[in-house]
Every structure is written in C-alpha cells, then in structure tokens.
Amino acid sequence: MNRAIVIFLGAFAALTLSWAGLLLGSVRSYGALGAYFDDTESKAYPAQAPGLATRGAQVYADLGCAYCHTQQVRGGEPSADLARKWGGRESYARDYIREERVLLGSVRVGPDLRNFGSRAPAAAELYLHLYSPAAVVPGSTMPAHRFLFETRQITGQPSPLALDRVKVAAPAGSEVVPTSRGEALVGYLLSLRDGYNYPEEEGKNMPPPAPKMEGEKKAETPKTEAPKK
Amino acid sequence: GPADAAVRWPVLFLLAGSILWLLAGSVLAVIAAIKLHTPGFLADCEFLTFGRVYPAALNAFVYGWGVNAGLAVALWLMARLARATLPGGGLLIVAGAFWNLGVKLGVLGILAGWSTSVPWLEMPHQIVPLLLVAYALAAAWVVGALRHGSSPRLYASQWWLLVALFSLPWLWATAEAMLFFGPVRGTVQVLVGAWFVHGFLLLWFVPLALAVIYYLLPKLLGRPIRAYHLTPFGFWAYVVCAGWAGAARLTGAPVPAWTQAVGTVASLLLLVPLGVIAVNVFGTLLDGGLAVLARSNALRFVGLAALFLVLALLRFAGMLVLRDGAELSWFATASDYAVLYGGFSFAVFGAAYYLLPRLVRRAWPFASLIHMHFLCSVLGFVIGVVALSLGGLRQAADLGGGVKFDEVTAHLLPYLQLATVGGILLLVGHLAFAFHFVKLVFCPCVRARAAAAPVPAELLRTAPDLEAAS
C-alpha cells in the first residue's frame, strides 16, 4: 500500500508539473496577449466580429465544420498554404484572441477557412455551395447542408436571399431560402479574414523561411488595448 | 477465486455496457466513414451530418467503450492482484449506470446539435460533472480494493492501473475548467485540448493496455516478465514524460514555438521507456515461444495488442522526426486510432476472452466466433490504419506540393473507401463478439455444453506471482 501512495503521488506530481509548465506557462507567456491599436486607422486589431458572425460561429461548432476544415494558415516549408492563397501571411496567436472557442481543426479534408472571407464568392454562390456543394465544386465531398434552408411559398416579392430557382429546382411558386442558422453561418464564414499585419509579428516572420515565433512575447507597448471579455 | 466472485456482477455490468457502446460506436463510425467518400449517403438528416456523426462515434468509442471496458478490466485486475474481496459491488453498478446514462446524454447531445466541436470534449459540458462523479465512485472502489486486499505486493500491472485511474479525472476536470467553465484566451485553448487528448491516450488507454499485457502475458505463457528489474525505470520515465508530449500535436500551429519544442523533446524521450516496455513484452513473448499463440485466444489478442501499441507509439515520434507536413492529414488521426484500437481494444478483447469464462464459470461456447472476431479485428484494423496512413501521407504530399485541391480530394478517395472496408470488418467482428458475449453470459442452453467442456484446470491458477517471479 505504501508503494501505491508513492505511485499516486508520483503520477500526481508528474501530471501537475506538465500542466503547470505547459498550460500555466502558456497562459502566463501569452494568455493575456492584447489587441493591437493602429493609430493611423484608429482601429483595434483583430476586430471584434459582428453579432451575426458570433452566432454563426456556434452553428459552425454544432455542425462540426472543424472536423474537415482547419483555420490555421501555415508559412514556411513544407506548407503551400500561402501559394494556395489561403491567406496573405501565416496565422499568429494574436489572430485568435477574440474568439470564444478556438477551433483550429486537425485534418484538411476541405480547404483552410481562416481567410475565407477575403476570397469568398458572392453570398448567392456561397449559399448555393452550402445547399449543393457538388453543383458549385464538381467532385466535392462536402455534405449538402439542405437543413440550413427551407422551401416556402413566395408571398409578394421573392426573398433577396432566395437561391436561384432553376438551379435548386424549386417547385412552382415557391423559393428556397436560408434559415436564420444558415444566414448566421454565412455571416460567420464571410467574417473570416486575418489581413492585418501586426508590426510585432511581421518583424519576426521576415524573411520567408524564418522560424515560427507567433506572438509568444507579452504585448507590453502602451498601444496595447486591454482584452474585452 | 474469491476475488473474481466479489467483482463478478460489476465487471459483467460494465463489460455489457462497453460492448453495447462498441456496437453503437462502430455503426456511427461506419456511417461517418462512408460519408467521407460518398457525401450523398444519409445526407439530408441534420443530426447525421458528418460533423456530428464523426464526433458521436468518437465519443461513443472513447467514453462508452473505452472507459467502461477500462474500468471493468481495472476492477477485475485490481481485485485479483490485491486478492481483495471488498463488498459494495452494488455501488459500482450504480456508478456504472450513471456513467452510461451520462455518455448516452452526451452522444445524443452531440447528434442533436450541442456539440462543442472541441476534439474529444464534444459532449455538452453540463453533463461532465455527472460523468466525473460516476467515474470517481467507480475508480474509488477500485483503489479501495487495493487498500483492503490481502496481497503484500504491488505488481507492475497495478502501477499502470493506478496511473490510469488517477490521470483521467485530473486531465478531464482541468481541461473542462480551462475550456468551458473559465475559458482561457486564444490558442491557449488549443494547447489545453492537445494536452488533454494526448494525456487521455498516453495516461489512460496506454496504461490500461499495459496493465492487461503485463498481467496476462506471464500468466498465459507461464513465465515471468523478461528484464522485470527494468520495469520501474520504464514506468517512471514514461509517467514523467507523457504529460508534456501533447504539445507535439500542435507542430506548426499558431502556438508558441517553445511549447512545440517541449512537446517534441518529451515525445522523443518517451522512446526510452518505450524501449523498456518493448524489451519486457517482446522478450517475454519470444521466451514463451510463439507457438503458444496458436493455443490461446486471449494470448493472440494480447500479443498483438503489445505489438500494435509499440508500433502506434513509435508513430508519434516518427512523425516528428520526418516533419513531412503530415500533422494536418489523416496520418495523424490514424496514429490516435492505432493506440485506441490496436493497443487498448486488442488488450481488452484478450482480457475479456480470459476473464469472462472465469467469471461465469463456463467456457466460451463457439470457438469459430472467437476466430471470426480475431480475423475481422486484425484485418479491419490493419486495413483501416494502413489506408488512412498511406492516404494521409499522399494527402500531406499533395497539400505541400501545391496540387489543386479537387485533385487532392480525388487522390484521397480510394484510401477512404478502403478505410470504410476496414471499418465494416471491425463492425462484423464486434457483432460476433457481442453475440458470443450474450450467448456466454445469458443463454441457459450453453450450460449443458459447458459441463461437457470445462475450463482447463491449468488456466485457473490464482496466484499472480508469475508476473514478478524474476
């Protein structure tokens, strides 16, 4: 029994050390990383996402989009993310500080979505893509998300959000429109863009095959704004 | 023995629950696997969309099968090794019932749209306190068995059991607290997730598999563990390094470089205890003569569990050394499956084939079903993991080489179809196992047969001293 206590305490100490070292260490080193306030633009980056996008992020989570789509652009070898135009630069830790739940994703079944908003097609095409992916991208293995749409009778004017009636073969007199969840998801997807170049991170990542040093230093300049949470 | 009798009903209850979850998990997994290459399959049900079925399958497998079966095996091993006859098994059944209720709510919650999408922590976090309390009741009983046992010795199997039983609630409660109840900011969340998932794999699934292997190998082979004097060193080196290795899952992700470096170093250091484990396990197997594998069903499963476990753990280190961009491909996911299935599940199957006849005091009725289960499991596992690994390497090479994305998808399809074949084989094997379990435990018609073919006497030896006899 005494040996059992030794094993118990040993396992406790080992696990606690890893927790303190890895997780508390990370919280300490960059857990309070702040937004960057750009004097010229009079704006803080990363920008706060609009309310629709915040609701859409919940739809993104409950539908499990992150099992097929990553949200992390990688630079350097052996990644071709920048050549694929998945982003103008690699992702930094600072890009994620305003997100309630960070879903980086782990398998790239589909393209990375971190900067989807900056390369997205018109909303009409995006809705059609969600409704019937293979109709927009032949050979796509993305599941159709018809449950984010409803078919309803046209009363008065057709909805401006209605899908192309020919493409979705809507019955006569009815239209296919996104539900509020569908609208929120599209709002979220269109909000995804990390275009801003933070001076601190930018300096660390030049020239191209530089080591990765994503914002581990605590931002300490007076330009840093306290996190709003 | 009396220790077996004391834990008979709780172990049977937990195993029955785990087998039901194994079936549910494999059905969900096959649905998810089919959807990956045939997206039209069951496409219009929101609750069966890939992003829900996949985490539901994973959670059914990890929490339903993994934790139930792990607790059952831990309970049986601990009672046996400590020679405990602790009363209060009814409490364990209550704990098990609450555990299964919680997992059921969690998996249904994922399907219904309350998934958090955080890998391995998808179950709605409101359910987790219930699960933790149920787990604590069961685990406390297992530790209590150790305290009240009459055996003065503490065997290697028990060290591993203690580590597993203690680590899971620690990891889980901490991760829940840091992710949902008082969330940390930004990508620190991702580090918490990686620490949890890797810890779950390395400090719950691997130790339980090792506990079974270190008990059953010497027991079935009738000879001690080879180089047993190295075992404490291997054990402590493993426990010290395992917690840090999780950060290696985030190689290249937007987390600080020092965390990735720490994870890589820890993962490579783990090769040292892995070497000790390999010497212990393979040394014992080779000493015992591989011919015995043909005689014992349990031994075949446990021997393969040892082989698959070591290979699976080597993959983690191999991926870091190669640095081929496979982190975001199916290759990385297949490494997790290799530990979950090849290591843990094979060990539990071996333990089940050994312990169930002793618990119910009759022999397995159909040898053919055991062979079928074995064959399906081995083929299904090897096909599935090899397909996902090769497909993952192809995917990584394509993604890194700038191949157009629709071609990346097209290149991956045959591998994913092959993985589905593997998944279906596993499901068939699980059905055989489940049917056989029901026949053994519940079917009265088997009793007459069992009287004719009693359990061989040499397999009923009670003393576990063989493990430590060197």
Q: Which residues pair with A224 in a beta bridge?
A: A36
Please choose, from the candidates B280, B165, B276, the residue with its C-alpha nearest in 3D space to the C-alpha of residue B226: B280
Are the beta carbons of B39 and A140 separated by less than 8 Å? yes
Give pTM, 2 decimals.
Answer: 0.92
- Which chain A residue has its CA at the smallest distance from B163's CA? A11
Average pLDDT over residues A173-199: 93
Find the helix packing angle between B367-400 and B330-337, rounded to 10°.
160
User: Do B433 and B372 form a contact (C-beta atoms < 8 A)?
Assistant: no
Average pLDDT over residues A8-14: 94
Residue A167, pLDDT score: 87
Tell me how far apart the alpha carbons of residues B205 and B155 are, in angstroms, rounded to a whole number. 19
Which mean pLDDT values do the consecutive 10-residue runs of chain B (470 residues) have?
82 96 97 95 91 97 97 94 81 94 97 96 94 94 83 89 95 96 94 97 97 93 90 95 94 92 95 96 83 83 95 90 82 95 96 93 91 96 97 93 92 97 98 96 62 45 41
Indicate the pLDDT class of residue A204, thresholds 50, 70 and 90.
low
Whether pLDDT at A56 is above 60: yes
Whether pLDDT at A222 is above 50: no
Residue B423 to residues A108, A157, B19, B263, Cα–Cα distance (Å): 21, 50, 16, 31
User: Do B14 and B68 form a contact (C-beta atoms < 8 A)?
Assistant: yes
Question: How many A/B residue pairs have CB atoms within 8 Å?
Answer: 237
Residue A226, pLDDT score: 46
Strand A35-38 versus strand A224-225 pairing type = antiparallel
- Partner A contacted by B251 (CB < 8 A): no
Residue B447, pLDDT score: 52
Residue A22, pLDDT score: 95
In tens, the pLDDT along A140-163 reads 999 999 999 999 999 888 899 999
Q: Where are the alpha helices (DSSP H) in B60-187?
A: 68-82, 89-109, 128-148, 156-176
- Which chain A residue has its CA at the smallest distance from B123's CA? A62
Interface test with B, best of A30, A106, A113, A194 (most B CBs within 10 A): A106
Name the residue facing A22 among B51, B119, B259 (closest C-beta). B259
ipTM score for this prediction: 0.91
Residues shown for chain B: 470
Whether pLDDT at A171 is above 50: yes
Residue B219: which residues within 8 A CB-CB, separation 6 or more?
A: B461, B464, B466, B467
- Which chain B residue has its CA at the smallest distance from A3's CA? B154
Residue B141 identity (one-letter amino acid): W
Residue B468, pLDDT score: 42
